A and B are shown apart, each in its own frame.
Chain A
Amino acid sequence: MKERTKLSDAIKNWEDTEVKSTVERFPERQTNFKTVSGLPVKRLYTPYDVADIDYHQKLGFPGVYPFTRGVQPTGYRGRLWTMRQYSGFATASETNRRFRFLLEQGQTGLSVAFDLPTQIGYDSDHELARGEVGKVGVAIDTLEDMELLFNEIPLDKVSTSMTINAPAAVLLAMYIAVGEKQGVSMEKLRGTIQNDLLKEFAARGTYIFPPAPSMRLITDIFRFCSEKMPLFNTISISGYHIREAGSTAIQEVAFTLANGIAYVTAAIKAGLDVDSFASRLSFFFGATSEFFEEIAKFRAARRLWARIMRERFNAKDDRSCMMRFHTQTAGYTLTAQQPDNNIVRVTLQALQAVLGGTQSLHTNSRDEALSLPTEQSVQIALRTQQIIAHETGVTDTLDPIAGSYFVESLTDEIERKSLEYIEKIDQMGGATVAIENGFIQREIHNSAYDYQTSVDMKSRIVVGMNEFVVDEEQQFAYLRVNPLAEQEQIQRLKEIRSHRKNDVVKRALSALRIAAKSDDNLMPLILDAVRVYATLGEICSVLRDVFGEYKAPDIL
């Protein structure tokens, strides 16, 4: 206490003398400094700011509850993060070539981007799919597409992340079926399905079914995988899209963890023991440009989730309290102007993710404010990760930013403010209610609007966009998706429909319909259907009939 008073006096003395006389002669750039999330930033942080932090309780050791300093006892000294570039476009064969290129370049995991019709459960020949086939990802209609996608990629050697939500069960079933054809049984498969519907309702928009049946599909997957796929991550609870939609770092942590709470609650309600599934939950965050705040965010999220799992859900197994997460650098920070500058932005963002202890990482390519990335651009993005991993030395000690007065203080602040939001959402009745009544969407939208206003007013500088602008001849060689892909895909789909055993498909779909109306786990029935080449659209259409479709609330 005496030490603290002494320090407080010394700080005041420094401010009254040195600082005051300097500011009188050279005013500071702003009267108030704030992070992009609105947290005040002081001139200087000292031991005074971290005096209340109990090391053992709040920080502890890597691999030990509450995991503030990381989930692995040896961190990147043991194994580097998985380098996993999100990719997919046009047809399965074209995407397979991109996957193999990335693996040849030293990528260590796969991450599949599906096109919008696939994500929303429509076949490529559906009228709503017009113009969208193969555009933002690869088109997958049947198991045959999935076989082509993983052609010559042994599924016992790679881990695969699939950004798929409403039809996650269908794509997981197809992945299992491809494994079977390769002679790899499902208990050996490693990877992640995103399977996070709450953030689709709140921020990303590729929902199909209403919340209740969506939760049922999710818990069916939790149960199925807890019994049969011990190495597979059953969900990637995603803050990334919440952040991309405009939230602050605090909202990103709060809304993501509130969604996590809703999933755990639903699974327990469905009769699962918390320790039977919780260790396979994974998370996904963005890395924006606010350097220290982002590092603090990752650390705060880990600590807060650990506390929630132990204190609220009584998890006994420490692995249930361990937050493992993927990171993607923030797409919204990329500029269409002077695109090469994005390489620098991505480098800094990737460094934050690594300093924050991410388990896997996607680095955006310089051209992604213009189009999907070219092979050359994605190679630079992957090389960025490799340079951080092999040349900087930041991987040689664990949680190297720990102990920074500023970062520890920010970590505490983000944890505290996120918890306040979570308590508010609890009072509303949980994340599902807070999304159905539009609260979460409105909070995100308000933050997005504030950010845009600050850029328009130039109170926030975006280099090359609102300052340091040059006249550019934009002749960047960006990727154009093969315009014939849509027709080729539709043609192949027609051929599959005419060659398969249609009576067997019909039986599988009828069985699925009956099960959807009961409480039976749908995973085995979906697996039966994809094995006989039922299409994604046919399976989702059965589920649409039984479950209905979600209608978004008007929040403007």
Chain B
Amino acid sequence: MSSSKKIRVLVAKPGLDGHDRGAKIVARALRDAGMEVIYTGLRQTPEMVVRAALDEGVHCIGLSILSGAHNALFPRIMELLKAEGADDILVVGGGIIPEDDIPDLKEAGISEIFGPGTTLQEIIEYIRSNVKL
């Protein structure tokens, strides 16, 4: 792995959910691990998330959602990324996401879902070993 190029990550809060404790902690941990992190803030539409990812030229998008709207919003984000030819961006998600929903989200192109109890180190390592620079 090249050490000269920094991994750029967009941490995003799609939907109306205001729970940002997890998103902000992950953003800070990724930054402390040497990545460049952009945090979108709350209430992002799928379109806003994808536009920010393209504008910022990120290698990875981390989506956080605890409201239960993931089945509607995550696949939509993947659709838009594909339409932009940007589906080489690694997309991971976290929050309150029932196990039963995970196969369909992965089918839609979400690479990994990190549930409650995941350590920050697990997330950092996953991104480092799966991101395409």
CB–CB B69/A131 < 8 A: yes
The yes or no answer to B42 lying at the interface (CB within 8 A) is yes
Classify the secondary structure of B's interface with A.
loop
Q: How far is the CA of A449 from the CA of B117 in the complex (A)?
A: 14
CB–CB B117/A465 < 8 A: yes
CB–CB A205/B116 < 8 A: no
Nearest CB in chain B: distance from A456 CB, A: 5
> With a CB–CB cut-off of 8 A, which chain B residues contact A245?
20-21
Q: Which A316-333 residues have a C-beta within 8 angstroms of B?
A: 332
Of A117, A131, A336, A453, most buried by chain B (CB within 10 Å of CB) is A131
Map CB proximity to A onto B107-122 as digits: 1 under 8 Å, 0 otherwise: 0000000011101110
Nearest CB in chain B: distance from A326 CB, A: 20
> With a CB–CB cut-off of 8 A, which chain B residues contact A120?
16, 43
CB–CB A456/B15 < 8 A: no
CB–CB A132/B27 < 8 A: no
Nearest CB in chain A: distance from B77 CB, A: 12
Given contacts A135-B69, A335-B117, A556-B39, contact A206 B25 (CB under 8 A): no
Q: How far is the CA of A446 from the CA of B115 in the complex (A)?
A: 22
The yes or no answer to B96 lying at the interface (CB within 8 A) is yes
The yes or no answer to A34 lying at the interface (CB within 8 A) is no
Q: How far is the CA of A456 from the CA of B27 in the complex (A)?
A: 16
Given contacts A131-B72, A244-B21, A452-B25, contact A370 B98 (CB under 8 A): yes
Q: Which of A117, A204, A336, A552 contacts B116 (CB 8 A)?
A: A336
| Number of interface residues, chain A, beta carbon within 8 A | 45
Nearest CB in chain A: distance from B72 CB, A: 3
Map CB proximity to B onto A389-408 as digits: 1 under 8 Å, 0 otherwise: 00000000000000000000
Q: Which of B17, B24, B71, B117 contacts A556 (CB 8 A)?
A: B24
The yes or no answer to A369 lying at the interface (CB within 8 A) is yes
CB–CB A554/B41 < 8 A: yes
> With a CB–CB cut-off of 8 A, which chain B residues contact A128?
16, 43, 45
> With a CB–CB cut-off of 8 A, which chain B residues contact A129?
16
CB–CB A135/B117 < 8 A: no
CB–CB A132/B69 < 8 A: yes
The yes or no answer to A304 lying at the interface (CB within 8 A) is no
Given contacts A371-B96, A556-B27, contact A246 B21 (CB under 8 A): yes
Nearest CB in chain A: distance from B18 CB, A: 2
> With a CB–CB cut-off of 8 A, which chain A residues contact B72?
130-132
The yes or no answer to B19 lying at the interface (CB within 8 A) is yes
The yes or no answer to A102 lying at the interface (CB within 8 A) is no
Given contacts A128-B45, A371-B96, A456-B119, contact A206 B68 (CB under 8 A): no
Q: How far is the CA of A245 from the CA of B16 in the complex (A)?
A: 16
Q: Which of A244, A369, A455 contacts B96 (CB 8 A)?
A: A369
Chain A positions within 8 Å of B, measured between CB atoms, are 116-117, 119-120, 122, 127-132, 135-136, 200, 204-206, 244-246, 332, 335-337, 369-372, 445, 448-449, 452-453, 455-456, 462, 465-466, 474, 478, 480-481, 552, 554, 556
List, sorted by A's number, 27 A–B pairs whose CB atoms are closer than 8 Å.
A120-B16, A127-B45, A128-B43, A128-B45, A129-B16, A131-B73, A132-B16, A136-B17, A136-B68, A204-B18, A205-B17, A244-B21, A336-B115, A371-B96, A445-B24, A445-B25, A445-B28, A448-B24, A449-B25, A452-B25, A456-B120, A465-B117, A466-B119, A480-B98, A554-B39, A556-B24, A556-B39
